[in-house]
Structure 1
Amino acid sequence: MLEIARQKCFDGDQLRFQHTSTALNCSMRFSLYLPPQAQHTPVPVLFWLSGLTCTDENFVQKAGAQAYAAQHGVAIIAPDTSPRGEGVPDDPEKSWDFGLGASFYLDATTQPWQQHYQMQTYVCEELPALLAQHFPMLLPRYSIFGHSMGGHGAITLGLKNPQLFTSISAFSPICAPMRCPWGEKAFEHYLGDDETQWQTYDTCWLVENGAVKTPLLIDQGCDDDFLEEQLQPQLLQHSCAQHNHPLTLNMREGYDHSYFFIASFIRNHIAYHAGYLAP
């Protein structure tokens, strides 16, 4: 791995790395905040998955998370939102909701996407192995959270990998991607026309058909422009109620889809995960 940036932040270190990803078959970058406690002892790890059009840098520059990560002694890793580089396919129409920056954190099974778009494997297998090899991590103490497309990724990957992720939360997640335009477009291209292949990447389906009952914490802005068409938290709320899945859904009046919203409540989410991650 190549360290490409380092800034001191709340007595810890905000780092950025570049490495060759076996899972994604390209060069990737990720950001990592190491709290000051990591200078003396291994620390637990919180994965953050960002949304459409973002890179690994949006969260670390806009969310204001480092102060609370330092307070609770947790590291935060923020991977990029998709494979990148020459030869990595993008949406032929150059739309922002598919292709580069829009992986949906799945393992693609169709061409030309299959060769590079293996983000589920990257997040759940390759990155944990890298962390264990190179950094003072308290293993296996991981939690996961994210925003929008990344909120979808956090919940689905968290529910499918309870042995890896101790707790799950999300800001403004895409709750039922099989029933919204963003998700339908991505799934059809990445996974093909057979909708049975989409199911394990749909939060509502996982809640309705899975045995895992990891509690979910969700914050959603009531003034979010994507609320009704794309995010649909009421569908997840119904699924959780019908199948006795623990859910805390906070509908926040006056808040939108932006990082101003995330920054307003990031303290709550980090404290929530720190409670689960404490040794």
Structure 2
Amino acid sequence: MQTVSTAKSHGGVQGVYRHSSQVTGSTMTFAVFVPPQAARGPVPVLWYLSGLTCTHANVMEKGEYRAAAAERGVIIVAPDTSPRGAHVADEPDNWQFGSGAGFYLDATQDPYAPHYRMYSYIVEELTALIAAEFPADMSRQGIFGHSMGGHGALTFALKHPDRFKSCSAFAPIVQPSTADWSRPALEKYLGKDEAAWRSYDAVALIEDGKRFPEFLVDQGAADPFLKTGLRPELLVAACQTAGIPVTLNMREGYDHSYFFISTFMASHIHWHAARLEKA
């Protein structure tokens, strides 16, 4: 692991790191904020998964999470959203696919399968790296994310309820197998058999029997993607049928941007911290 940069913030350390990934076959960059409480011993870990077109830097620079994370003593890990490099298959003119749009899955179709393995990268390789290199209490992990990253957070939590103790999302794509901006990506990454898509679809996972203790979702009511891409009501309906408690906060006047995310970031971190403290 190479340290790209570190800076003191709110008594803790905001770092950016790089390593050669065996899982994605590429160099991966990620950000980690370590709060001051970690000087006394391991602290809980909260994973943040970013959305389409983003890198680790978007939330680090615009998410405004450090004050709350330092107050509650929580490490924040922000992975990249896809493999990158000249050797990685891409569609440079398509912001909904390829570089910056890994959808937190393991691709099975060529030419994407060798590199687009963000699911295994986060669950296995980056998790092991965080456990080895940072003062992280891996028995207390939560996960949240935005848009495509909200989709990722929901699916990771549903598939690993023994690992993640809390899960929330900002404007998540709750049913990517039917959403206009994600169906094409799932077909290219996973093939035409839509049954293979279900393990990366939160609503489908719930329909197929996966469970999680509770979810928190914040959604901007003025989000231009609300009706065709996000559709949080589908998650609410699936959770109600399955008996999963879900809180959906519709935020009037807010859009899909980091102005929205940063407004409610602290409340999400406090929500996660309360649950991780009890874990």
TM-score by length of 1: 0.98
Residue in structure 1 matched with residue 81 of structure 2 by the alignment: 81
Residue in structure 2 matched with residue 220 of structure 1 by the alignment: 219
Residue in structure 1 matched with residue 248 of structure 2 by the alignment: 249
Residue in structure 2 matched with residue 39 of structure 1 by the alignment: 39
Check conservation: 2:104, 2:117, Cα contact below 8 A: yes
Query: Secondary structure in 1 aligned to 2:182?
Result: helix
Check conservation: 1:50, 1:56, Cα contact below 8 A: yes
Residue in structure 1 matched with residue 273 of structure 2 by the alignment: 274
Q: Distance in 2 between the 1:199 and 1:171 partners?
A: 21
Residue in structure 1 matched with residue 228 of structure 2 by the alignment: 229
Check conservation: 2:31, 2:79, Cα contact below 8 A: yes
- What is the CA deviation profile of residues 149-201 of structure 1, one whole-angstrom value per residue up to 9, with x for unaligned ones? 00000000111011221110000000111111222111100000000000111
Q: Distance in 2 between the 1:37 and 1:128 partners?
A: 21
Query: Secondary structure in 1 aligned to 2:106?
Result: coil
Check conservation: 1:207, 1:245, Cα contact below 8 A: no
Residue in structure 2 matched with residue 142 of structure 1 by the alignment: 141
Cα distance, 1:213 vs. partner? 2.7
Q: Distance in 2 between the 1:186 and 1:271 partners?
A: 34
**Amino acid paired to 1:73:** G
Identity of aligned residues (%): 50
Q: Distance in 2 between the 1:26 and 1:3 partners?
A: 17
**Amino acid paired to 2:269:** I
Query: Secondary structure in 2 aligned to 1:45?
Result: strand
Q: Distance in 2 between the 1:107 and 1:244 partners?
A: 29
Q: Distance in 2 between the 1:221 and 1:212 partners?
A: 26
Q: Where in structure 2 are the equivalents of 1:13-92 lying within 5 Å?
A: 13-91=13-91
Check conservation: 2:33, 2:66, Cα contact below 8 A: yes
Segment of structure 1 superposing worse, 157-166 or 254-263: 157-166
Cα distance, 1:63 vs. partner? 1.0
**Amino acid paired to 1:45:** V
Cα distance, 1:86 vs. partner? 2.0
**Amino acid paired to 1:22:** Q
Check conservation: 2:44, 2:137, Cα contact below 8 A: yes
Q: Any stretches of 5+ residues in structure 2 without a counterpart?
A: none
Count how many residue pairs are aligned between Structure 1 and Structure 2: 278
Check conservation: 2:157, 2:212, Cα contact below 8 A: no
Cα distance, 1:217 vs. partner? 0.4
Residue in structure 1 matched with residue 208 of structure 2 by the alignment: 209
Q: Distance in 1 between the 2:105 and 2:136 partners?
A: 25
Query: Secondary structure in 1 aligned to 2:177?
Result: helix
Check conservation: 1:159, 1:214, Cα contact below 8 A: no
Residue in structure 2 matched with residue 11 of structure 1 by the alignment: 11
Q: Distance in 1 between the 2:243 and 2:39 partners?
A: 42
Q: Distance in 1 between the 2:118 and 2:10 partners?
A: 31
Check conservation: 2:21, 2:27, Cα contact below 8 A: yes
Structure 1 moving runs of 4+ over 3 Å = none
**Amino acid paired to 2:80:** D
- What is the CA deviation profile of residues 47-93 of structure 1, one whole-angstrom value per residue up to 9, with x for unaligned ones? 000000000000011011000000000000000000011201112x6
Check conservation: 2:106, 2:117, Cα contact below 8 A: yes
**Amino acid paired to 2:4:** I
Cα distance, 1:214 vs. partner? 2.6
Q: Distance in 2 between the 1:163 and 1:94 partners?
A: 39
TM-score by length of 2: 0.98
Residue in structure 1 matched with residue 162 of structure 2 by the alignment: 163
Residue in structure 2 matched with residue 239 of structure 1 by the alignment: 238
Cα distance, 1:259 vs. partner? 0.3
Cα distance, 1:127 vs. partner? 1.2
Q: Distance in 2 between the 1:140 and 1:73 partners?
A: 15
Q: Distance in 2 between the 1:132 and 1:237 partners?
A: 34
